[in-house]
Amino acid sequence: MNAYALKAHIRQQGCELSRIGRSRNWLLKANFNQIQSVIAFIALTDEPSWLWLTKLLKSKYLHLSHDELLRIASTIEKVTLSALIARSDCTIAQARRVIDELEGLD
């Protein structure tokens, strides 16, 4: 029953969740904000059987491209290094590069 609640929440966020063929594997199509919402939902429910998904999603979005980081930074009202790092889990060097580019220092 817990899996149904998780799948329902994922679909409510606008994500596409589909099974790959007849296997047990699933394919999740989501943008960065949707992934963050799913991670936050799992953290709030504190369901131990879902923690593996949080780890997997965090590891997948750690590899954001420079363009994706720019898009995320542009949505933050007062962008700072710590705000961008907290929002995207990027490195300090990546955050500096993005902020410099946004401020026209690049």
**Can you give the residue ranges of every domain in the chain?**
2-61, 66-102
Give this prediction's pTM.
0.65
Give the model's pLDDT for residue 62.
Answer: 66
Mean pLDDT of the chain: 85
CA–CA separation, 29 vs 44, rounded Å? 22
DSSP state of 105: -
Is a pLDDT exceeding 70 seen at residue 24?
A: yes
Banded pLDDT at 103 (limits 50, 70, 90): confident
pLDDT tens column, 35-55: 888 988 988 888 888 888 888
CA–CA separation, 9 vs 32, rounded Å? 16
3-state secondary structure of 17: strand
Give the model's pLDDT for residue 12.
Answer: 92
3-state secondary structure of 58: helix
β-pairing, 16-19 vs 26-29, is antiparallel
